[in-house]
């Protein structure tokens, strides 16, 4: 985190993203500008809490870790660390049958990833963008509304 803060200063980063709609292209643009990984950029965005985001890391089909911004509405995943990734998600499809959505943002539903408190939340639509790390048998999923 120290390195991310040093390489992507808050004041400058906030200027870069001011009044910009969130999508993965923004992550890609910022990571290239500051010459840092997309994962470091996503974690920095979460720390700044400028957009409601969740980042989920899964390895070998199981939840490894997750982070979310304070303003992200759903703080609880349907699973716990070490449990299998839901198959109705982009990450889950990768571990189930090797399917990849390279460079595209896909639609998922709240009930696929999150614990639901109210019935009307089940079909809430989210975006999922995956970074596939085949050599590590790992997927980093970025989720946002």
Where is 32: in which H helix or E strand? helix 24-34
How far apart are the C-alpha atoms of 69 and 7, rounded to whole Å?
20
User: What are the tokens at 40?
Assistant: 């470091």
The structure tokens 């992200």 sit at 72
pLDDT tens digit sequence for 52-106:
999 999 999 999 999 999 999 998 998 899 999 999 999 999 999 999 999 999 9
- Predicted confidence at residue 42, as pLDDT, reads 95
Highest mean pLDDT among 13-27, 113-127, 129-143: 129-143
- Predicted confidence at residue 104, as pLDDT, reads 96
Would you call 141 exposed, middle or buried from its count of C-beta atoms within 10 A (0-12, 13-18, 19+)? buried
How far apart are the C-alpha atoms of 22 and 50, rounded to whole Å?
10
pLDDT tens digit sequence for 12-47:
999 999 989 999 999 999 999 999 999 999 999 999
In the chain, domain spans: 2-48, 53-144
């Amino acid at each position: 985190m120290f390195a991310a803060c040093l390489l992507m200063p808050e004041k400058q980063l906030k200027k870069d993203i001011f009044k910009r709609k969130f999508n993965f292209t923004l992550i890609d643009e910022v990571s290239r500008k500051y010459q840092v990984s997309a994962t470091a950029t996503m974690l920095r965005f979460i720390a700044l809490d400028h957009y409601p985001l969740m980042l989920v890391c899964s390895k070998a089909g199981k939840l490894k870790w997750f982070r979310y911004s304070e303003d992200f509405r759903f703080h609880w995943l349907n699973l716990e660390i070490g449990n299998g990734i839901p198959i109705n998600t982009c990450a889950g499809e990768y571990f189930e049958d090797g399917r990849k959505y390279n460079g595209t943002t896909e639609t998922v539903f709240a009930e696929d990833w999150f614990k639901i408190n109210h019935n009307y939340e089940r079909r809430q639509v989210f975006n999922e963008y995956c970074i596939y790390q085949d050599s590590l048998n790992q997927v980093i999923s970025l989720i946002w509304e």
